[in-house]
Amino acid sequence: MTKIQTQPPRGTRDFYPEELRVRSWLFDHWRTVARSFGFEEVDAPIVEHAELYQRKAGEEIVDQLYHFELHDRHLALRSEFTPSLARMVMARQGGLRWPIRWFSIPQCWRYERMTRGRRREHYQWNMDVWGEAGVGAEAELIAAIFAALDALGLAPADVRMRINSRALLEETLRDRFLADRPDAFAPLCVIIDKLDKIGADAVVDQLADPAGPVGLPRPEAKDAVALLSVSGLEEAERNAPAGSAALAGLRELFDRLDDYGLADRVAFDASVVRGLAYYTGVVFEAFDAEGSLRAICGGGRYDRLLETLGGKPVPAVGFGFGDAVITELLADKGLLPELPRDLDAVVFPFGADERRAGTLLARALRAQGRSVELVLGEVKLKRALADADRSGARQIFLIGPDEQARGVARCRDLTTGEERDEPLP
């Protein structure tokens, strides 16, 4: 028989208890913050209809899909949660009370090239608001992200949020290049999103590729890339058409973020467009201040996604915040907690004659809500004490022949070493 590989598939993780404790700690913070903003948790299957993910704008995420045919069905592991969420909203579109505020913590799968903080599966905290067109929704979501970063122990200066609006870029480009080919905008954003990764020249080449999805004349492709380096809202305003609604929206968003005390932690950045085709409005990404890691989280407004899936239009905005980059950042800053196992007590019956008394005591303690490990099998006292110490338990209950005869267990406090008798149930 061939021996199985003990490592999980490359880019995926096993979670042993000590790792799962840290993961649960992170998820608890996410859940607490989401609930404090009035969001309700939802979930969906990890296997979805592959067609839900098959968009044609040249996004990397589409090529990274884990997909397969099974009984004539084309299925895929979810690469992100937003398409499932759209499907769920669409299924109940007539009966939902808007706006809805839902959060989720799905595991997502992408066959990605591995770098620090990027893997082939990750857990992603999502918060989404559906049915609200105003930037108040964006402000709430961005405030929730910072609330989570604060709760995790990061200092305000550790993370910066960069904010832009695809609608602003679209308005600015519409008169110049997009008037006769509006469909080129989504693929244009997908290409522009690669700026940091492949550099300006390569972005211009791709925008100007006559066989590509955008096919801009080269000088116009260069102009489009130049727009990404404008360095403030004032300069963006000079490029935008008069009375730009997108610009007004961005200004309002920055004002609202000021109300949340976040003005110093956010900045306009014209180069943030995000790599997913469905965004239509405000887009945002948070990065560590040193810029040594990939995006901590990212999101934006996607008011037309439901239409592209055949539903009625509903405005929507949300974000995804993965577990991988934040864990790297917290580890770099020494902020990942050492979490002991959470065990209240060990019950140790010395031998077969005391086993029943031990079982009844464990049952009684568990009924009081305590976490109790019952020692199984024949174990020496020394070994049981050492194991109890290592387990992080607070107490051990010893039941030997003498204790049983007296109707008690000897209860030792494992921190102070103090002992006392406790009556057996």
Residues that bind ligand HAM (CB under 6 A): 80, 82, 110, 112, 118-119, 122, 124, 126, 128, 276, 295-299, 318-322, 324-325
Tokens 């539903």 found at: 311
Q: Which residue's CB is nearer to ligand HAM, number 325 or number 336? A: 325
3-state helix, strand, coil in the chain (%, to 5): 40, 20, 35
Q: How far is the CB of 30 from ligand HAM (least distance, A)?
A: 12
| C-alpha span between 34 and 104 (Å, rounded) | 9
In order, the DSSP letters of 108-167 are EE--PPPBTTB-SEEEEEEEEEES--STHHHHHHHHHHHHHHHHTT--GGGEEEEEEEHH
Q: How far is the CB of 256 from ligand HAM (least distance, A)?
A: 19
DSSP assigned state of 93: G
Q: How far is the CB of 42 from ligand HAM (least distance, A)?
A: 13
Q: How far is the CB of 131 from ligand HAM (least distance, A)?
A: 14
Q: Which residue's CB is nearer to ligand HAM, number 335 or number 364? A: 335
Q: Which residue's CB is nearer to ligand HAM, number 249 or number 300? A: 300
CA 164-169-170 angle, 5° bins: 130
DSSP assigned state of 177: I
Q: How far is the CB of 278 from ligand HAM (least distance, A)?
A: 8
Q: Which residue's CB is nearer to ligand HAM, number 61 or number 339? A: 61
| C-alpha span between 238 and 98 (Å, rounded) | 36
| C-alpha span between 186 and 184 (Å, rounded) | 6
Q: Which residue's CB is nearer to ligand HAM, number 82 or number 206? A: 82
Q: How far is the CB of 111 from ligand HAM (least distance, A)?
A: 9
Q: How far is the CB of 248 from ligand HAM (least distance, A)?
A: 22
Q: Which residue's CB is nearer to ligand HAM, number 39 or number 321? A: 321
Q: How far is the CB of 318 from ligand HAM (least distance, A)?
A: 3
Q: Which residue's CB is nearer to ligand HAM, number 305 or number 396? A: 305
| C-alpha span between 77 and 354 (Å, rounded) | 51
Q: Which residue's CB is nearer to ligand HAM, number 122 or number 256? A: 122
The answer to whether 118 and 159 are in contact (CB under 8 A) is: no
| C-alpha span between 116 and 294 (Å, rounded) | 8
Beta bridge partner(s), residue 129: 101, 317
Q: Which residue's CB is nearer to ligand HAM, number 12 or number 371? A: 12
Q: Which residue's CB is nearer to ligand HAM, number 124 or number 164? A: 124
> Beta strands of 230-358 (E only): which ranges?
266-268, 282-288, 297-301, 316-322, 345-349
| C-alpha span between 80 and 290 (Å, rounded) | 27
Q: How far is the CB of 166 from ligand HAM (least distance, A)?
A: 12
Q: How far is the CB of 109 from ligand HAM (least distance, A)?
A: 9
| C-alpha span between 79 and 75 (Å, rounded) | 12
In order, the DSSP letters of 406-417 are HTEEEEEETTT-
Amino acid at position 371, single letter = S
Alpha-carbon Rg for the chain, nearest whole angstrom, is: 28
The answer to whether 126 and 30 are in contact (CB under 8 A) is: no
What are the CA-CA distances from residue 180 to residues 174, 175, 212 (Å)?
Answer: 9, 9, 16
Q: How far is the CB of 324 from ligand HAM (least distance, A)?
A: 4
Q: Which residue's CB is nearer to ligand HAM, number 204 or number 277? A: 277
